[in-house]
Amino acid sequence: MKLLFAAGALALLGSERIAENQRAARSTLRSIAAAQAEFQAAVEIDTNCDGVGEYGYFGELAGADPMRVSHFCEPGAGVAPADILSPPLLRSPFGRVAGSLVSHRGYLFQMWLPYQTVTGTVPAVEEDPSGGKGAAPFPGSVNGARMWCCYAWPIDYGRTGDRVYFLNQRGLLLECKNWGLWPYDGTTNMPASDEAYSVAGDMSSPLRVGAAGGNHQTIWTPVQP
């Protein structure tokens, strides 16, 4: 009886931890969205000299890596310390990028920014493995002022979290129950940049809400308040 009680208590603690981590992941994505909006409005990056701000990667937003700059009104790499954001808009843990990912409260986060439009579609450009963007391909200047997206998924599926979350510049927070044969789990199985979009490889396409698709036939639905 004691063993059964202990097992039940552990299971309850595990489910509570998952629920807490998932709440934290949703809250974190909303904080990231607020940081992106402030960053873009302040025109911290303007690589094509048009006076319109562009969105940033984790390393840039957290003040850990130099921001992209304009080289003769073309995207280029910044240098430290001159091009470090101060004060940063995200806390220092989000500047500790490894493998283009940030680890926080049982979840991995990945930021994607858009490339220039190619034959009518907008491919995604991931952050450098150690954060920021120090070399080509750089995000497109025009599209970089219009789009970004971020995914969050469990570091250890079933232990640190179950659900996957997505948010972009449109502000609609989506979730996927992640119940497939190959759930998104740490670095073993990670969502592609276009997993929540209706058109493969196109960040400018509508979000795929309520319909199965993508690489793993995921279904994304709005997170309820």
Distance (Å, rounded) from C-alpha 158 to C-alpha 135? 37
pLDDT of res. 9: 34
pLDDT tens-digit map of 24-80: 999 999 999 999 999 999 999 999 999 999 999 999 999 999 999 999 999 999 999
Look over the chain and give the mean of its residue pLDDT values, rounded to a whole number.
93
pLDDT of res. 7: 35
pLDDT of res. 157: 97
Q: Is the pTM of this model over 0.85?
A: yes
Closest CA to 115 of 168, 67, 75: 75
Q: Are 17 and 106 in contact (CB under 8 A)?
A: yes
* pLDDT(101) > 60: yes
SS3 sequence, 50-63? CCCCCCCCHHHHCC
The vertex-214 CA angle with 208 and 217, nearest 5°, equals: 100
- Tokens 């391909």: give the residue: 137
- Portion of the chain with pLDDT greater than 70, in percent: 93
Residue 176 phi, psi dihedral angles, 5° rounding: -125, 130
Q: How confident is the model at residue 169 (pLDDT cuts 50, 70, 90)?
A: very high
